[in-house]
Amino acid sequence: MPFYVETPALQHALAARGYADPTAVQSAVLEPEAEGRDLLVSAQTGSGKTVAYGLAFAATILDEDVLPPAGAPLALIIAPTRELAIQVHAELAWLYEHTGASVVSCVGGMDPRREQRALAGGCHIVVGTPGRLQDHIERRHLDLGRLRVVVLDEADEMLDLGFRDELEFILGASPADRRTLLFSATIAREIAALARQYQRDALRIDTVARNQPHADIEYRAIRIAAHEVEHGLVNLLRFHEGAGCLVFCSTRESVRQLYGRLQERGFAAVALSGELSQSERNAALQSLRDGRARVCIATDVAARGLDLPNLDLVIHADLPANKATLLHRSGRTGRAGRKGLCLLMVPDRSRRRAEVLLASANIRAIWEAPPTAEAIRARDHARLLTDPVLTEAPLDEEIALARELLANRSADVVATALIRLYRARLPAPEEIAPQPEVLPRPAARRAAGAEDGRAMVWFRCDVGRRKKADPKWLLPAICRVGGVTKRDIGAIRIFDHETRFEIGADVADAFAAAIGAGTNSEMRIEPAGHQPGTAAEDFGRGRKEGRFRKSPSRIKAHAPPRRGGKARKAG
């Protein structure tokens, strides 16, 4: 529906900014049932919630569409970080520009004396961080006597950062008849308790289905050996060359190490951690905003409240600690209707943990290997052909120089030089050993298979990744050839030249007889004899990957049964 608000000054500001249609959260707070009420709102990061609550409290602070003279503030917005507070200040300044509103920010890391002077001069709206706001209240620089509305922006973040005491102090010092608008990415138990304590008959607004992931973010889990995580990260950054990227690490030390190594490889990167001064942090953020840097490496705490433009890619170099952290990290992309991509680096030993984490967040991720050096070079080739240096109209002086070059060099030599110059500015991709593909088993088959104690036997077939092995046709083919059902098949592992899979021990002899007696032309199948490892392990056992006996006769399942989900070696 078209954007319409009753206040002409705000309508004019929205039109000037090109706002044609409201987002879901903006539309929800403008419904008649929300007018004048306390609001408990769950909204995704980047959903337009700053404008939403700016519109929601407009009727509360405006008298007959105009503001009273500036004095003690009428509205107070509390944000978890200085960056978010500064962004909110800028948003509300343009939204209320034509009302004559005075908006003041009070945030940690800034000059408190300048803030004190601004408060003393009178204002209508104050935006601040919890600690700095409490300090101004205690020093009696901030008078809450006229306050009509309090907004808690990213309330879950503030509780995570340990600001409960400050929030309770500020809310306790506010007039009892104020409106309280509470915005949070998730409404966890602590948020609900805070709402019950400080809100009155709050209207609950959910702009997305509860417990659902961000609809505009695509998730991919990257299988990688633990010792090659850094190489995999390099290849991901090279493959997604044009995207602004935020890389999350779990510790400051990890941030420092990764930042140094990416810089050595030629990536335009910055690092954010709690040890940076405010001026260093501002400089790093500015380089991201103006395009001098493309990659930001940060800890969870350092990235709180961060809102970077054109951020298309989030990479979890270290797995998040929990579902909330996963969703908060990932929510930095996919904002304001843009599509985003979220990649999780999953070392071998962490696969089960990653599966549980994704399941808890109700996220379906695509499991894949990191891009190969060959794939990256192919993408570089395609990028070169569409690079602006070739597609933009040349200047006269450039044409003159080009003719001079062609007069002295052949076209092939000049073009080759262009390719070399183009490649020289790019970090070299890494060669990464191929990872075996482990397919997650559907819940129904898993429950009936090894995990409920059913014994399993390993088999192998001569179709692998190089021959486009895919579970979509592998499963029905195995069932058809061996006369089994999908419930009889356990784990499936796809290698370059072969695929290995489990068959229930109670049907393994019949399966072996069926594949031995048949004349199947799709693929050759035989018992594996041992639990699959890497391709190198298979070569060490004296059997080359992908090579099978040409005419197996009576094939009996000779691998010992696998119980409790773990295969044992024969003999």
Q: What is the pLDDT of residue 451?
A: 45
Nearest Cα residue to 432 out of 222, 201, 153, 202: 222
User: What is the secondary structure of 312-331 as a DSSP string?
Assistant: EEEEESS--SSHHHHHHHHT
Q: Tens-digit pLDDT profile for the chain (571 aa)?
A: 567 788 889 999 999 988 888 888 999 999 999 999 999 998 876 778 999 999 999 999 998 777 889 999 999 999 988 888 998 999 999 999 999 999 999 998 789 999 999 999 999 999 999 999 999 999 999 999 999 999 999 898 888 778 999 999 999 999 999 999 999 877 878 888 899 999 999 999 987 655 556 667 899 999 999 889 999 999 999 999 876 899 999 888 999 999 999 998 889 999 988 777 778 888 888 888 888 889 999 988 777 767 676 788 999 999 998 887 888 788 778 766 678 899 999 998 899 899 989 988 888 899 999 999 999 999 888 888 887 777 788 888 888 888 888 888 888 888 888 888 877 778 888 888 876 665 554 443 443 444 445 678 888 888 888 888 888 788 888 888 888 888 888 888 888 888 998 888 778 888 887 887 555 556 788 887 655 653 334 433 333 333 333 333 333 333 334 444 444 433 3
Q: What is the pLDDT of residue 325?
A: 84
For domain 437-540, the CATH superfamily is RRM (RNA recognition motif) domain (3.30.70.330)
Structure tokens at 236: 């991901």
8 Å CB contact between 479 and 461: no
Q: Where along the chain do its domains lie?
A: 8-206, 217-371, 375-424, 437-540
8 Å CB contact between 426 and 381: no
The CATH number fitting domain 217-371, selected from 3.40.920.10, 3.40.630.30, 3.30.70.980, 3.40.50.300: 3.40.50.300
Query: For residue 375, how many other CB atoms are within 10 A of its CB?
Result: 15
- List, edge to edge, every strand of the sheet that includes 125-128: 103-106, 125-128, 75-78, 149-152, 179-184, 39-42, 203-206
Q: What is the pLDDT of residue 213?
A: 60
- Which residues are 40's β-sheet partners? 182, 204
Q: What is the pLDDT of residue 442?
A: 47
CA distance to 89, 120, 135, 490, 535, per residue, from 115 (Å): 13, 9, 11, 65, 65
8 Å CB contact between 14 and 48: no
Specify the DSSP class assigned to residue 164: H
**Contact partners, residue 479, CB within 8 Å, separation at least 6:** 485, 486, 488, 489
8 Å CB contact between 252 and 443: no
User: Rounded to an integer, what distance in angstroms lies between the CA atom of residue 249 and that of residue 24?
Assistant: 32
Nearest Cα residue to 484 out of 460, 459, 504: 504
Q: Do domains 217-371 and 437-540 have the same CATH topology?
A: no
User: Rounded to an integer, what distance in angstroms lies between the CA atom of residue 505 and that of residue 454?
Assistant: 8
C-alpha neighbours within 13 Å on the C-beta side of residue 411:
0
Instruction: Provide the residue type at 92 as one letter.
Output: L
Q: What is the pLDDT of residue 440?
A: 53
User: What is the secondary structure of 544-568 as a DSSP string?
Assistant: -TT---SS--S----SPPBBTTB--
Place of tokens 């948020």: 191
Q: What is the pLDDT of residue 177?
A: 94
Which H or E run includes 481? helix 471-482
Nearest Cα residue to 529 out of 438, 436, 458, 450: 458
Structure tokens at 461: 């077939």
Nearest Cα residue to 502 out of 571, 436, 565: 565
User: What is the secondary structure of 108-160 as a DSSP string?
Assistant: TTS-HHHHHHHHHT-BSEEEE-HHHHHHHHHTT-S--TT--EEEETTHHHHHH
User: Rounded to an integer, what distance in angstroms lies between the CA atom of residue 461 and that of residue 493?
Assistant: 11
Kindly report the length of the chain. Answer: 571
Structure tokens at 179: 């409106």
The CATH number fitting domain 8-206, selected from 3.40.50.300, 3.20.20.70, 1.10.3720.10, 2.40.40.20: 3.40.50.300
8 Å CB contact between 41 and 205: yes
pTM value surpassing 0.85: no
User: Rounded to an integer, what distance in angstroms lies between the CA atom of residue 515 and that of residue 46?
Assistant: 55
Query: For residue 410, how many other CB atoms are within 10 A of its CB?
Result: 10
Structure tokens at 183: 């915005």
8 Å CB contact between 85 and 62: no
Q: Which of 76-85 are b and which e, b meaning 16 or more Cβ less than 10 Å from the residue's Cβ?
A: bbbbbbbbbb
8 Å CB contact between 373 and 430: yes
Q: Which of 307-318 are b and which e, b meaning 16 or more Cβ less than 10 Å from the residue's Cβ?
A: bbeebbbbbbbb
Specify the DSSP class assigned to residue 488: G
8 Å CB contact between 352 and 285: no
Nearest Cα residue to 246 out of 257, 259, 229, 264: 259
